[in-house]
Amino acid sequence: MRSSLALLALAVLVSGCASHQEMREPRSLLQSGLINDSKEAARLEQKLTDKDIAALLDADIRAKVPTKLALAAVSDGYLSAIGAEELQRWEAIVQGVPYIEGVMPVTSLSIGSTDPKLHDLRTAAAGMGCELLLLYHVSDSSVDNYTDAAALYWTFVGLWLVPGNLYEHRTVMQAIIVDCRTGVILGTATGDSHLSAACPAAYGEVQEGKLAQEARQKAMDDLLKACKPVLKAIVSKAAQPRR
């Protein structure tokens, strides 16, 4: 640990000033490879780039309600386990949505794979008796830059006392609500959180972990808030009699 910090201090001393690395953009749901229907992908791309964080697509498809809502979380193309606390938060959200009778997580056991396509997730959701699937893609990005104060790292004590590193972390969650029978994407929603904090290099690993955890929490808060009105609009349309 001491040797790595010493090398860091030497690097900063040589550079002598702050750094300005750009944070890469988090991977989008479209880049995940989950959606292989070109028409759906094109329509989804348009909605995900809208300024609105929640948007309904204009397809005249009505889900069959009442129903339970299947949930699937994907990160870097792989299906993620939805923890008990996160599942409870989704339960709380759908309690205020008519015709949604609860949530059911899609797991790797139910699809037999950890890197599914959208069709696999729809099939698993339908097998659980769910007419709707809510899929959310989680992507993270981070960067570590030196601040002007990093010049004091040469004292070595500064490695523990001077906030010479600026850590940034961004989490983006993009969700789609899918009609399991047709595969049509009925709605979209997004959650986004970008956090930063300066601290001494000696505590960088701890700070990075803290930022990642807080960013995910805030992005999830944002996503849950965005999903509720979209779900309400979808089931409201589904419950209306056809003319």
Instruction: Return the structure tokens found at 231.
Output: 């779900």
Spatial distance between the Cα atoms of 154 and 7, rounded to a whole number of angstroms:
10
Work out the percent of the chain whose per-residue pLDDT is above 70. 71
Kindly tell me if the per-residue pLDDT of 14 is higher than 50.
Answer: no
pTM above 0.85, yes or no: no
Question: Which is more confidently placed, 5 or 163?
Answer: 163
pLDDT of residue 4: 54
For residue range 54-71, what is the model confidence (pLDDT) as tens digits? 455 555 667 788 999 999
Query: What is the SS3 assignment for 11?
Result: helix
- 75-92 pLDDT, tens per residue? 877 888 899 999 999 999
Residue 170 has pLDDT above 90, yes or no: yes
State what percent of residues in the chain have pLDDT above 90.
37
Mean pLDDT, rounded, for 148-152:
76
N- to C-terminal Cα separation, the chain: 71
Domain hosting 75: range is 2-239
User: String of b and e for 181-218 (b: at least 16 CB within 10 Å)?
Assistant: eeebbbbbbbbbbbbeeebbbbebeebbebbbeebbeb
Q: So what's the pLDDT on residue 155?
A: 76
Q: Which amino acid is at 61?
A: I
Contacts of 76 (CB under 8 A, 6+ apart): 27, 32, 139
**How many domains in the chain?**
1
Answer whether residue 2 shows pLDDT above 60.
no
- Most confident listed range (53-67, 147-161, 197-211): 197-211
CA distances from 84 to 104, 106, 132, 203 (A): 12, 13, 21, 30
